[in-house]
Structure 1
Amino acid sequence: MDKTTNGWLSGFAGMLIFSGSLPATRLAVQSFDPVFLTVARATIAGSLGLLLLLVFRETRPERRDLLPLVVVALGVVVGFPLLTALALRHVSAAHAVVFIGLLPVATAIFGVLRGGERPQPAFWLFSALGSAAVAAFALRHGIDASPFGDALMLAAIVVCGLGYAEGARLSRHLGGWQVISWALVLSLPLMLPLAWWTRPASFDGVGAAALWGLAYVSLFSMLIGFVFWYRGLALGGIAAVGQLQLLQPFFGLLLAGVLLHEQVPPSMIIVTMIVVACVGGARHFSRAAPARRAV
């Protein structure tokens, strides 16, 4: 299997894992404060990441990697989880999840700025069409949504796109699981005391669904998903593999319908087919066009 195909398969696995993040967060914030949920998931995943680094005796990152790792931590360990948890206090998971369709554009832009990638112009056309389809779907079925919740989701998309691109760039020489583990460990000295300080006065009223939600976002969304996702971005290209997230809203909507009994509109099938076509087109034009040989 060639490197690009391997990258797309790894990215697809990561996207599937991330698809459950917003529905799981929605379950968790029904019993947990958004701030506690953010720091608790980072503390749990950071403790596991530290254990992995110690067991496999990974060498410490070089000094030049520390600032990019801080950017990763601020983007995907703190920023995106906190902003989405706050947003889900105002909007449903089925509405919030469609904003994930804007992540490929944000990731591709930061992939150009930070990763040095140069997709062909047609790539941006397919990426914009896919994002437009997702945005139109959101507007069509989210008229009653909270503007404040939508603003929080848009901010989450920006910081997450930066964290994805920066983490993928680091993964090329540090490794996928090592990047997210080091980012989690860097944030652990802050997250651990905050988790203790913001903990609920009592866990007696916390339901099983909220605990399962916390477990999922801590183990899968915060750690395991990134093992596949950063590997996919590093092997297949940040801009290209990032387009797989156009599919994430629809897998997330299916999960929201099954787990949370939220309404899933039939038009989702049509929009999903359009998005799949756009992902295919974006993949085809994700690499820079070969230079023409002089005659």
Structure 2
Amino acid sequence: MIRNDTTASANGWINGFIGVLIFSGSMPATRVAVLDFHPVFLTTARASIAGLLGLILLLIFREKRPAKDQLLPLLIVSLGVVIGFPLLSAIALRYITSAHSIVFLGMLPLTTAIFGVIRGGERPKPVFWLFSLAGSLFVVGFAVMQGLTASPEGDILMLLAVLICGLGYAEGAKLSRTLGGWQVISWALVLSLPLTITAGLFLLPDDLSGIHSEAWAGLGYVSLFSMLIGFIFWYRGLAQGGIAAVGQLQLLQPFFGLTLAATLLHEQISSGMLVVTVGVIGCVAASKKFAR
């Protein structure tokens, strides 16, 4: 039994790590896409594309429809990670850089762990919360040092995005234990299809000739990887290794994301960003030990 639990935990961390790697490209890709696409259209387009792919997967594997008691959790997942987080973060990226937004994602482990307790029934050790809170304080401290008056709209939107995303992560992970990881995100996307397709067609730009190839590539990445493939690994990892425990891997996302932002978008990475990143990464190993 212990061996099985250890194996499941190890697999959970591996799947969670792959999910984090995939999600790390979301903010830079979104930043590029919103230069040519309206944030609301981008949100509906990425969800529509991923939803159609998810529907195809469900039909190919002949998955059973969710039970009635699973519909509300799926709706919460849809509102949290299919619509809420992508929309709020896309709008925020009109006010702040992707590098700045990525650092805010360091708060996701704390919000995910909190909702893991509320919705998933998990009970991490008290010391775990100290390290999880320390990682989040690094992020908040960085935002304060940068001066919140520079773009209060962008910062507030990212905080709201992180909060609703944490709820969607925890709810989806709990549901994955009975429904399956890729099935959860696929059904959540399918439930959103009537809204996202309708809104996407209504908001479709009149002239697509002015859309640069980089923006199309950004849309493709957030549709295929950020909205579907990443969640297949992420929800599986959370279900196998624990929501609060594996959720701490999100503290690594700023490091990978900042690297991509500097490499692909040539954004300036300040020393403060690096200090915050090192600090939150240091909290991963410490919090992992006390997650259970």
**Structure 1 residue 24 displacement after superposition:** 0.3
Aligned 8 A contact 2:103 2:273 in 1: no
Instruction: Name the residue aligned to 1:234.
Output: 239
Select 1:5's aligned residue among 1, 6, 10. Answer: 10
- In structure 1, distance between residues paired with 2:163 and 2:252: 18
Instruction: Name the residue aligned to 2:251.
Output: 246
Counterpart of 2:221 in 1: which secondary structure?
helix
Select 1:183's aligned residue among 179, 182, 188. Answer: 188
**Counterpart residue identity of residue 250, structure 2:** Q
Q: Deviations over 1:107-166 (max 9, x none)?
A: 000000000000010000010111112332343346563101111111101110000000
**Structure 1 residue 96 displacement after superposition:** 1.0
**Counterpart residue identity of residue 220, structure 1:** F
Matched, 1:221 2:226: yes
In structure 2, list runs of 5 or more residues that go unmatched.
1-5
Q: Deviations over 1:165-207 (max 9, x none)?
A: 0000000011110000000000001111111100000101000
Map 1:82-161 to 2 at 5 A: 82-141=87-146, 145-161=150-166
Instruction: Give every structure 1 segment of 4 or more consecutive aligned residues whose post-TM-superposition deviation is greater than 6 Å.
Output: none
Instruction: Name the residue aligned to 1:18.
Output: 23
Aligned 8 A contact 1:129 1:278 in 2: yes
- In structure 2, distance between residues paired with 1:69 and 1:31: 31
What TM-score results when the alignment is normalised by the length of structure 1? Answer: 0.94
What TM-score results when the alignment is normalised by the length of structure 2? Answer: 0.95
- In structure 1, distance between residues paired with 2:117 and 2:268: 37
- In structure 2, distance between residues paired with 1:142 and 1:97: 16
Counterpart of 1:2 in 2: which secondary structure?
helix
**Structure 1 residue 270 displacement after superposition:** 4.2
Aligned 8 A contact 2:39 2:90 in 1: yes
Aligned 8 A contact 1:101 1:135 in 2: no
Aligned 8 A contact 1:45 1:219 in 2: yes
Aligned 8 A contact 1:25 1:214 in 2: yes
Distance 1:250 1:145, change over 3 A: farther
- In structure 2, distance between residues paired with 1:144 and 1:252: 24
Q: Deviations over 1:236-274 (max 9, x none)?
A: 100111111111112111111111110012454444333
Aligned 8 A contact 2:96 2:151 in 1: yes
- In structure 1, distance between residues paired with 2:48 and 2:195: 9
In structure 1, list runs of 5 or more residues that go unmatched.
288-295
- In structure 2, distance between residues paired with 1:80 and 1:138: 19
Counterpart of 1:249 in 2: which secondary structure?
helix
Counterpart of 1:247 in 2: which secondary structure?
helix
Instruction: Name the residue aligned to 2:47.
Output: 42
Instruction: Name the residue aligned to 1:291.
Output: none
- In structure 2, distance between residues paired with 1:156 and 1:228: 21
- In structure 1, distance between residues paired with 2:148 and 2:267: 16
The number of equivalent residue pairs is 287
Aligned 8 A contact 1:250 1:268 in 2: no
Select 2:268's aligned residue among 263, 269, 280. Answer: 263
**Structure 1 residue 277 displacement after superposition:** 2.5
- In structure 1, distance between residues paired with 2:206 and 2:26: 25
Aligned 8 A contact 2:103 2:277 in 1: no
**Counterpart residue identity of residue 61, structure 1:** P
Instruction: Name the residue aligned to 2:57.
Output: 52
Bigger mean CA deviation after superposition, 180-189 or 246-255? 246-255
**Counterpart residue identity of residue 162, structure 1:** L
Identity %: 64
**Counterpart residue identity of residue 123, structure 1:** F
Q: CA RMSD in A?
A: 1.3
Matched, 1:66 2:63: no
